[in-house]
Structure 1
Amino acid sequence: MALRNAVMAALLEGAASGYDLAKAFDASVANFWMATPQQLYRELERMEGEGLIAARVVEQERRPNKRVFSLTEDGFRAVRAYTAEPLARPTAIRDELMVKVRCADVGDLAAVRAAIAERVEWATAKLARYERLRARLLDGRPEEEYLLGAERIGPYLTLLRGMDFERENIRWGALALRILERRAALRG
């Protein structure tokens, strides 16, 4: 998948500055697509040049002016065309932690355990952010009411997937730590 598709998906929420898009990526899109701010800004420039997005300058009093981007009609057509394309093969997991875990039997077991514990801590914090976002989206409504009445449901569905992903990271991390602690005790 091209970064442009993730940018267009984020812009479906409405016009946003590059800074706002970077924050949105971190808060929501990052559960399925990562991009650095530099990559994001380069992609915005390319997309503007291709007519997929338009920028307007917003003047600010105490801060530098900012450019706010929105999808053009060509951009909306590109979103429709992208969603109609067949999916590529499922994404393979590329996770350095998994490589370290695979080496745990001959590597520094304490360091691997610490890395897993750090991942669990990170996943726990990210899940908490996702839960706060879910609460803001629901705004006190039952989920079923939200699902039937929301203007756009895609962001909520991807949020649920991100929450499940982090829950699984936490579950797996706890299991791996228990197993490695037992192994360490046996080696002890």
Structure 2
Amino acid sequence: MALRHAVLAALLDGELSGYQLAKAFDVGVANFWYAQPQQLYAELNRLEQAGLVVGREVVQEGRPNKRLFQVTDTGLAELEEFAGASDKPAFVRDDLLVKVQAADHVDTTALIARLRERATFAQAKIDLFGKLLRNLRGDKSEADFLLHGERVGPYLTCLRGLAFEEGNRDWCERTVAVLTRRERSRR
């Protein structure tokens, strides 16, 4: 997936400035695509030059002017083509997994600390996704929202992010328990 498709998808909810897009990435899109704010601004410029988004200048008093962007019909067609294309399987590339792979040959004290940090980070993301899911569905039950909600795509990707982070947390906690038990049994 190219960053362009993630940006186009993020703009489906309406006009956003570059700053608002970066915030949208932090809250909702980051569970499946990470980008630095400067990457987003550069991508917005490329998308505008390609005719996939259109920007308009908004004059603000006492603050610099800002540009708001929205997806064009050509951008929607690009997303439609992207949605229909076949996907390659995703591959995990994670330094922590390399460290765990070497656990039998290294002192595990620092490794256990890193695993606990990762579990804490995952729990924070789980809490954030839970709040975001509640906000997205409002007063509807999840089943009702999934069937009748206005925009189900962001909800479904948030569910994936939630499951991913729950898996990370659970794996980190289990790995800490295993390494701790093994360390104690050697004493």
Provide TM-score, normalisation by structure 1.
0.94
Equivalent pairs counted in the alignment come to 187
The DSSP-based 3-state class of the residue aligned with 2:56 is strand
Structure 1 stretch displaced more, 59-68 or 119-128: 59-68
Give the deviation of 1:85 after TM superposition: 1.2
Helix, strand or coil for the counterpart of 1:70? strand
Q: CA deviation at 1:187?
A: 3.5
Shift of 1:148: 2.4
Task: Tell me whether 1:4 sits opposite 2:4 in the alignment.
Answer: yes
Aligned pairs for 1:67-146 within 5 A: 67-87=67-87, 89-146=88-145
Tell me how far 1:63 sits from its aligned partner.
Answer: 2.6
Q: Which amino acid is 1:4 matched to?
A: R
The residue that corresponds to 2:60 in the other structure is 60
Distance in 2 (CA, whole Å) between partners of 1:103 and 1:38 is 36
**Quick one: structure 1 residues 62 and 185, their matched pair in 2 at CA, closer, same or farther if it must change by over 3 Å?**
farther
Distance 2:79 2:148 in 1: 23
Structure 2 spans left out of the alignment, 5+ residues: none
Measured in 1, the distance between the counterparts of 2:26 and 2:106 equals 32
Q: Distance in 1 between matches of 2:107 and 2:172?
A: 17
Residue 28 of structure 1 deviates from its aligned partner by: 1.3
In structure 2, relative to structure 1, the CA distance for the partners of 1:13 and 1:109 (3 Å cut) is: same
Distance in 2 of aligned mates of 1:22 and 1:59: 20
Q: In 2, Cα distance between the equivalents of 1:61 and 1:124?
A: 41
Alpha-carbon separation, structure 2, partners of 1:108 and 1:58? 57
Where in structure 2 are the equivalents of 1:150-161 lying within 5 Å?
150-161=149-160
Give ranges in structure 1 of 5+ residues lacking alignment.
Answer: none
Paired residue type of 2:83: T
| Cα distance change, pair 62–101 in 1 and its aligned pair in 2 (3 A) | farther
Shift, 1:26, TM fit: 1.5
Q: Percent identity?
A: 48
CA offsets, 1:158-188, max 9 Å, x none?
Answer: 1111111111111111100101111221344
- Matching residue of 1:149: 148
Q: In structure 2, do the counterparts of structure 1 residues 65 and 169 end up closer, same or farther at CA, with 3 Å as the change threshold?
A: same
Structure 1 residue 62: Cα displacement: 3.7
- Residues 44-68 of structure 1: CA deviation (Å, up to 9, x unaligned): 1111110100111222234322111
CA–CA separation in structure 2 for the residues paired with 1:60 and 1:97: 46
Q: Give the CA deviation at 1:73.
A: 1.2
Does the 8 A contact of 2:137 with 2:149 survive in 1?
no
TM-score w.r.t. length of structure 2:
0.95
Q: What residue in structure 2 maps to residue 25 of structure 1?
A: 25
For residues 85 and 182 of structure 1, do their structure 2 counterparts lie closer, same or farther at Cα, with a shift above 3 Å needed? same
TM superposition shift of 1:116: 0.6
SS in 2 for 1:105: helix
- For residues 76 and 146 of structure 1, the distance between their equivalents in structure 2, rounded to whole angstroms, comes to 24
